[in-house]
Structure 1
Amino acid sequence: MSKITISAIKADVGGYVGHGDVHPDMLAEAESRVQEGISSGLLVDGKVGACGDDINLVLSHEHGVDAEDVHRFAWDSFLAATKVAKRLHLYGAGQDLLADSFSGNIRGAGPGVAELEIEERPSEPFIVFAADKTEPGAWNLPVYKIFCDPFNTAGLVVDPKMHGGFALEVHDLMENKGVVF
């Protein structure tokens, strides 16, 4: 099987009704860019979404983590959406694009990035949690329900390897420490 990289890249490049939403024209521009990326062969697949006033690009490709071409593609897509936001006089147009120009990697330039390289299997479902104006603790309950609740995860009950239990490491971001339960 071949290796595939999943890149989730998000940026706030202009809010519709303040911080509440992304204007449909901005999403259409980003979607058009993603379709061009797929047609050109840069991307295997892609999805444009929004959370709050952030545009989220979920991209699959074969170029590995921190691929300059993919990061430039995302940067240019966000710039194109920023132009739409400016034309529409939207709030905070381009506010997450902190650098004046692309320098080879989008990390540290404002947008949020999470990437994972995997060996692709015939069925490879994944989920991207998107959030705006929150902290990682927002995911505590959904992650617990997915992986730790025997009412949702039958494998915790039927798999003999799980009968001895498991340990959870919980991180306190305010105190910068972790505890294992």
Structure 2
Amino acid sequence: MHTSDSTRRATVLTLSVIKADVGGYVGHSSMHPDLESKAREELAKAQQSGLLIDFHVTHAGDDLQRIMTHELGEDSTDVHRLAWETFEACTAVAKSLKLYGAGQDLLVDAFSGNVKGQGPGVAEMAFTERPSEPVIVFMADKTAAGAWNLPIYRMFADPFNTAGLVIAPTLQEGFRFEVHDVMENKRIFFDCPEDTYALLAFIGAPARYTLRAVYSRANGEVAAVSSTQRLALIAGRYVGKDDPVCIVRAQGSFPAVGEVLEPFSMPQIVEGWMRGSHCGPLMPCALRDCQPRRFDGPPRVIGAGFQLANGKLVGPVD
């Protein structure tokens, strides 16, 4: 059934970012263009069939990134199957080119309804599109899921980073933070500013506690989500870094774009780098420069900004 743009505006939109390392070029440094072309080919078919509204394919280092919009909600079996089968198709291309670590993030042999727990990293949020909907997708390489803890905290709870927490009535009620204990599969919620000290006590241990989501306390709207999948815990052995992704909504009842970007002006020390066994600065860089090389690093982060227009991804802006 065809959905008109006027109808789509009133529906709940889902923004899904699903990534995986399916083959490095050369070594762990970058992405062969044939893999991105194959991913675009597969996602274009899904768009033509009506499964997806829109999509964008890019890479962060050796990780293939798919940014997709649809109306099927979070954890949609159809969307996750599409992601898995696209990764499998790209893995076949990687093997034909003898790329390094072909299919290394695909930790199981068959899709079982959801890619979570099967290797790929996932960040998804469902919301009703605002009259103007700016979003930023952050993608990191050569680091772990906990790398988002400090930047997200500063975006939504640090008034010295986000002036809107002090001077914007739409932000003064603060935000609720959802933290995941990745060892025991538990969720913990903190309401800031009053729970700030307790929140910092947990997210200061990023190997175990990772920020999963942030919600506005003023209206309950989701403000940010991140991938919390830890590859080593899934596989039971080291198979590469998590290379997490994060989606942040901006403006209005959320921090401004400049406030969202500001935390990355400080190169915080994160785990990862060479063989996932070192610590180094998380370096923001341009999309075209996200090819970690020196000592397989340093860990780096890119940001792709979009305006959503009836589910269409207008952008990206670097």
TM-score range normalised by the length of the shorter chain: 0.7 to 0.9
In structure 2, the CA distance between the partners of 1:101 and 1:123, relative to structure 1 (3 Å rule), is same
Does residue 1:133 correspond to 2:160, yes or no? no
The separation in 2 between residues aligned to 1:39 and 1:175, in whole angstroms, is: 41
Does residue 1:173 correspond to 2:205, yes or no? yes
Matched with 1:82 is 91
Residues matched between the structures, number: 178
Matched with 1:45 is 54
SS of residue paired to 2:80: helix
Matched with 2:270 is none
What amino acid is aligned across from residue 55 of structure 1 in structure 2?
L
Matched with 2:18 is 9
Deviation at 1:116, TM superposition (A): 1.1
The separation in 2 between residues aligned to 1:115 and 1:89, in whole angstroms, is: 32
The separation in 2 between residues aligned to 1:146 and 1:175, in whole angstroms, is: 21
Larger relative contact order (CA 8 Å, sep ≥ 6): 1
2:132 pairs with one of 113, 119, 123:
123
With 3-12 and 101-110 compared, the bigger mean Cα shift is at 101-110
1:25 pairs with one of 19, 31, 34:
34
Matched with 2:177 is none
What amino acid is aligned across from residue 92 of structure 1 in structure 2?
G
The CA RMSD measured in Å over matched residues stands at 2.7
Deviation at 1:134, TM superposition (A): 0.9
Matched with 1:158 is 167
Deviation at 1:158, TM superposition (A): 2.6
The separation in 1 between residues aligned to 2:76 and 2:117, in whole angstroms, is: 15
Once the two structures are superposed, residues 16-43 of structure 1 have per-residue CA deviations (whole angstroms, 9 ceiling, x without a partner) of 0111111011011111212221111100
Instruction: Determine if contact 2:27/2:100 at 8 Å carries over to the other structure.
Output: yes
Deviation at 1:69, TM superposition (A): 0.8
SS of residue paired to 2:91: helix
Q: TM-score, normalised by structure 2?
A: 0.50
Alignment gaps of 5+ in structure 2: 1-9, 175-191, 211-318
The separation in 1 between residues aligned to 2:15 and 2:50, in whole angstroms, is: 15
In structure 2, the CA distance between the partners of 1:174 and 1:121, relative to structure 1 (3 Å rule), is closer
The separation in 2 between residues aligned to 1:151 and 1:176, in whole angstroms, is: 27
In structure 2, the CA distance between the partners of 1:78 and 1:174, relative to structure 1 (3 Å rule), is closer
In structure 2, the CA distance between the partners of 1:29 and 1:116, relative to structure 1 (3 Å rule), is same
Matched with 2:105 is 96
**Structure with a larger share of its residues in strand:** 2
Alignment gaps of 5+ in structure 1: none
Identity of aligned residues (%): 54
SS of residue paired to 1:128: strand
With 49-58 and 133-142 compared, the bigger mean Cα shift is at 133-142
The separation in 2 between residues aligned to 1:175 and 1:11, in whole angstroms, is: 20
Deviation at 1:162, TM superposition (A): 3.8
Once the two structures are superposed, residues 42-87 of structure 1 have per-residue CA deviations (whole angstroms, 9 ceiling, x without a partner) of 0011111111211011111111111111011101111111111011
The separation in 1 between residues aligned to 2:209 and 2:140, in whole angstroms, is: 23
In structure 2, the CA distance between the partners of 1:144 and 1:114, relative to structure 1 (3 Å rule), is closer
What amino acid is aligned across from residue 166 of structure 1 in structure 2?
P
Q: TM-score, normalised by structure 1?
A: 0.84
The separation in 2 between residues aligned to 1:163 and 1:87, in whole angstroms, is: 54
In structure 2, the CA distance between the partners of 1:19 and 1:150, relative to structure 1 (3 Å rule), is same
